[in-house]
Structure 1
Amino acid sequence: MRDLIFALSLLPFLQSVSSCPKECSCDAHSNLVDCHGRGLYDIPRKLPQEALELHLHDNRLRSLGSTSFRDTPHLQALNLANNSITVLSPSAFLGLRHLRVLNLANNSIRELDRRLLVSVRNITVLDLSFNSLSGLPGAFSESFHHLTHLSLHHNRLTKVDRVHLEALDNLQVLDLKANPWRCDCHLIGLKLWLETFTFRGGVLDSAVCVQPPLLQDRDLRLIPYELFHSCMITSYSYLFANIHYLDSKHRSFLSGPALPSPHPHLTEPILPECEPKPRPRPANYRHAMATVVITGVVCGIVCLMMLAAAVYGCAYAAINAKYQRELKMKEKEAGGGEGQKNIQEDEKEPLEG
């Protein structure tokens, strides 16, 4: 009887062990299924349904089919890093409603289907680093309202529309380094969003420009807005829309000849753009203040010189007038003396006669 009870108590454990694929190791207590580093070309079949964490990194997986994870609907963490995945079926993650952590780093993924993201709306950590992504799908921000950590470093991103990021209200960490960012007029919106993101306390590594040569190796956040002066002159509405975070349909894009792309192998077309002027002359606030001060000093000196000239003129006129008056008085006195002498002489003549 005791043996029977003991056998019945071990039955769930034996069932869990028997359901574990031979290519993997399973932990019944933590519901962890570890299949990493086994040289697998396909995902093992008959995975434990109660599995919460599945490790498939460091294998040779090349694609994810539509029924890859139908046996593990309760997965919360899935690690597919360091494989050779190039194709993702739109329904590869169908049924994984509880998935929180998804690691697809170090693969060869070129694009993400917007239908692929609908099944994993509750993800909080998404790692897409070291892939070949040249853009993000349109429904990216709509699918990841709970996302807190996003890694996009070491891809082929030349630009990202702020619309893909501004709806990620819970985002705390964003990795964007080692992408060929093209810092032209189309990245003003991203620059504004990154500045707002870091101001709110978000953690950002860097977004270093590769093109144009004038801005090469400079962080997008640290580039003065004056260097985008040519963009602002021809499209004030574009800048206004980005500053106030209006809808993207109200933005006006600049028209102009497209420059040759530094990555011709990318299939994404390059929109017309306006490059910053080769030799910009930014209106520096300090220079403007110095100009105002110098102008004020020069004007003051001129005014003082004019005042001195006026005082000198008035003094000269007063002295000249005084001199003329004194001269006339002397002439009158001289004239009066001669008249008296003539009278005396006239009086003496009759007496002598």
Structure 2
Amino acid sequence: MTTLTSALGLMLIASGAIAETTQQPATPQTARPAASPGAWPEKAQKLLTLLQSLTTKEQASKNKHQIETLTEHCQALLSDRMEQDIDDPGVDAEFQAMGQLYLPAVRLYHKLRASGFLSNSSVEEACMELVNSARTCLYCDRPRAQILFSGFRLNPDPELAAALLDLRSDDYMSAYRIGFFSALFKLHPEYANQWQSINNRQHFNNILAAALWFADTPQTREIRTKIRPSSSNRPDIDLKRIDLARTDPSKPHADEYPEIANLDMAWGAFDATNDSDYLNGILLCALRQPTTDEPDLMKLNALWSLRLRAANEKDISAQLEQCLSKLPVTQQKEYAAMPTPDFDDISNFSRLDGAYLRILEYEEQKKVKPDKHPVE
């Protein structure tokens, strides 16, 4: 039996956008609640609602016992669930429900910190318990975590950016996240400053290091040089024209940044900025002509991902139509005539562990195959 503890480890310490909880003296443990199905998210929601209702520090002190009791119940339930079968439908449902609390918990953390409530140790511990446990659940529910990233372009607020920065330590979908954060740092330098203020050398993360590298602004170069002075020059990749990027094995970084990674990074950059230039580059990649007799895997991946996302996200469908309208009629017809590649035929093409096709976990997340594309 695979347990959550063996699959994940106890990822309960915040190491990113949210500060670590101050260690407090041990307090007497209250009786553990019964580990009935649904008990964990129910207790967590009660704790979240209670913390959200706080308006004065006096009110926080008055509710100290209830806050501490709910916090201890949540900690006990997390410990219990970490020992359960990871494939158990009831446990899986609880982890999905808890993952949905991550963003509200992060928003609550920033609200309470700004209001000075975190000086109350009971409130701080309760808030961090909610954030840490919800983050742990997102490590299990990867498609839901991906939805937070892909939806950022529609809701690009600072608190969501902080929440995403704090999810960076997962090496899942690495190329996508490099593109996402590099575009984010380039468009919003304040996020690079925010990231720098909450990290140190021992917590330096390779994904964000690469994002600083690819952003290639004076500010990100300065930050990266301070943390990693031996940084080499960045590869010459324009994520808005990935159609022009063809892997040349003789060039530096050819193995480290294979061609398929450019597609992953371009989608990440698009989701961070909603800049249709990135989408247009992916479209041009889907339309590019092969240069050898071998299948152009980059072209097929680009076409498949465009059809998938346009079929499931109306704003992308509209932007794609606009991009197509600017192309010659011959290319518009060519795109409409191209059959959508079969997912099973292309799902193993990537050479990168975090490749976009596996990131999306299409059959798990969408359930509807994009047989029809938006442009006829």
Common topology (TM > 0.5): no
Is the strand fraction higher in 1 or 2? Answer: 1
Normalised by the length of structure 1, the TM-score is 0.31
Normalised by the length of structure 2, the TM-score is 0.30
Larger RCO: Structure 1 or Structure 2 (Cα < 8 Å, ≥ 6 residues apart)? Answer: 2
Is the helix fraction higher in 1 or 2? Answer: 2
Structure whose alpha-carbon radius of gyration is higher: 1
